[in-house]
Structure formats: C-alpha cells, structure tokens
Amino acid sequence: MPRQSKETPTDHVFAALAHPVRRDLLAALLDGPETAQSLADRYEMARPSVAEHLKVLRGVGLVSERPAGRNRYYSLTPEPLALLRAWLEPYEQFWRGRMSRLASLLEKEPLS
Amino acid sequence: MPRQSKETPTDHVFAALAHPVRRDLLAALLDGPETAQSLADRYEMARPSVAEHLKVLRGVGLVSERPAGRNRYYSLTPEPLALLRAWLEPYEQFWRGRMSRLASLLEKEPLS
DNA sequence: ATAATACGTAGGATATTTCCTACGCGTCAA
DNA sequence: TTGACGCGTAGGAAATATCCTACGTATTAT
C-alpha cells in the first residue's frame, strides 16, 4: 500500500491538532467565543500568530467566526472531531481483542 | 493561561500521530507484527526513514519491538491512544451540550 | 570464514512550520 | 473627518521535521 496520494480531511484534522498552541486555543474556546486579541493576551503571543493558528483551525472546520463590528468572535465547532473518533475505532477494537484474548487465557490458566 | 511549559504525554502522542506515514504504519500493524524492511517495501520508502518513524512511535509507546535473530518485529500497542480519547472527552460534552440546547429550542418553537 | 541481509543511527540537504514585524483595510468615537 | 483600535495577511528569519545515502554491527546461510 504505497500511501494514498490525496490528503484526506482526517489528515488535515490531525495536522491541525498537532500543535500544542492550537489545542490550547480550542480548550480556551470551550468556555465560549473569544476574539483573537484576547486569546493572544492569554497566551503571551503576538496576535498575528494566533490569527494564523485560528486560520488553520478554521480551515478544518474546528472553529467558526462571527464578525461583530471591528471585533471578530471565534467559537468552537467540534464536529470535525468525529473524524478523529472514527480513526480511533479500529484501534479500540484491536485493543479489546487483545484484552479478551488475555482474559480467556487467564481463565484457562488462573494464577499461574 | 500562558501555555504549560512542560510537554505532556498527550502532546507527544498528538505529535506522533500528526504524520500521515506514521498513521499508515500503525494501520499496517493492525494486521499483525511486521519488520521495518517489509513496511518500507509497502510504502516505497527507504528503510531508515521507516525506522525513524517507528522510533517516534516507540517513543510514545504506540509500538513495541521484539528482536528475532537478525529481524526485528514491530507490533502495535494501542494503550497510549487512551490519552487521545481522554482529550476528546470535553469536546464531546461540549457537542452534546449544544445538541441538547438545540433540541430544547426546537421543542419550544417547532417547525418555525 | 565469507557473503548476504536486516538492523539502528549519524550526517546533511531540503521542505515545512512557526513566529515575528510591517502594512493596509474596515469600524467606532470624538 | 480624524485618530485609535481590531482585524487579516504578506514577507522573511529561525527552528523543526522529513527523507535520503553511507556506515558499522549483528545474525544467518554457504
């Protein structure tokens, strides 16, 4: 399997979540919408840098924006995280498979 | 909150999963242990490059190795993915909150 | 012993990411 | 209108990540 040539939405979500600052930004938005400026203040980071990160998050649909006068409020839209959960699925099955195999093993040979 | 200075295990798991090739490698290992060489063949990539990726995955505990003569079998150890699921938790709660608020809104003002 | 093969890692070229300052645009207050 | 403020983005420096070939080591086959 020589790696799919096209990048999938899941690829982009993983890439967006790879950076600690972007995950921090998402966490901050759990408490409600905020502006780029106030987020920049919170993280001791230049506002344009925060704006870039927000752009990435918006690109994968994890964040949406609402203009309000000269302000612009960013809010969390967690739907794309469903892709992450879907990706996780086969590994959890794999894990459960291992666990049950271990369980049946212990059943046959207890306390050895 | 000026960003935690120390990197957490969760940070490292996200970083490890950020690269498409590393996710492909994990997916390949779902079918059972494999050597670096056979993985390299599958992905049309130089073996040392695959070895580097495996090193990263091993660093976060997603992969373990078992030497066997001059071969070395890598296998999937999905436990660290629990960190990812834990990270996901607050966002799923956030999501459910939005859904239920929408539901109660529709209940009060149906089909408008 | 010798040849072949699998391995990890070093060294380094290249690509990508991240972060900043500088700028121009739009909005609000005076 | 004018000045202050918030915004996004361009441009570029610096840090990271990625991928390769080259090398040395260990194991198997001849």
Q: For residue range B60-71, what is the model confidence (pLDDT) as tens digits?
A: 999 999 999 999
**Identity of the residue numbered B106:** L
Name the token pair of B109: 């003002």
pLDDT at B111: 54
Question: Are A35 and A74 within 8 A, CB to CB?
Answer: yes
CA atoms within 13 A on the CB side of B96: 6
Q: By the CB < 8 Å criterion, does A16 face chain B?
A: no
* Burial classification of residue B4, based on how many CB atoms lie within 10 Å of its CB (0-12 exposed, 13-18 middle, 19 or more buried): exposed
> Which positions in chain A touch B76 (Cβ < 8 Å)?
91, 94
Q: The sheet that has B63-68: what strands, in order across it?
A: B34-35, B71-76, B63-68
pLDDT at B7: 87
Closest residue to D28 (CA to C1') is: B70
Q: Kindly report the bases of strand D lying within 7 A of a protein C-beta atom.
A: 5-11, 17-22, 26-28
Q: CA(A53)–C1'(D25) in Å?
A: 45
Q: By the CB < 8 Å criterion, does A51 face chain B?
A: no
The C-alpha of A42 sits at a distance from chain B's nearest C-alpha, in angstroms, of 5
Low-confidence ranges of chain B (pLDDT < 70): 1-5, 108-112
Distance from C-alpha of B81 to C-alpha of A21, rounded to nearest angstrom: 20
Name the token pair of B71: 């071969």
Q: Which domains does chain B have, with CATH numbers?
A: 9-80 (1.10.10.10)
The partner residue sitting opposite B91, judged by closest CB among A15, A43, A81, is A81
Cβ–Cβ gap A20/B43 under 8 Å: no
SS3 call for B72: strand
Cβ contacts below 8 Å, chain A against chain B, sum to: 83
pLDDT at A4: 52
Q: How many CB atoms lie within 10 A of CB A60?
A: 21
* Burial classification of residue A104, based on how many CB atoms lie within 10 Å of its CB (0-12 exposed, 13-18 middle, 19 or more buried): exposed
Phi (first) and psi of residue B34, to 5 degrees: -150, 165
Angle, CA of B85, B89 and B90, to the nearest 5°: 145
Cβ–Cβ gap A14/B23 under 8 Å: yes
Give the chain A residue whose CA is nearest to the CA of B12. A18
Name the token pair of A62: 């994890």
Radius of gyration of chain A measured on its C-alpha atoms: 20
Q: CA(B69)–C1'(C4) in Å?
A: 15
- CB neighbours of B85 closer than 8 A, spacing ≥ 6? A88, A92
Name the token pair of A2: 């020589």
How many residues belong to chain B? 112
pLDDT at A105: 78
Q: CA(A49)–C1'(D14) in Å?
A: 15
Low-confidence ranges of chain A (pLDDT < 50): 3
Q: CA(B50)–C1'(C7) in Å?
A: 12
Q: How many CB atoms lie within 10 A of CB A8?
A: 12
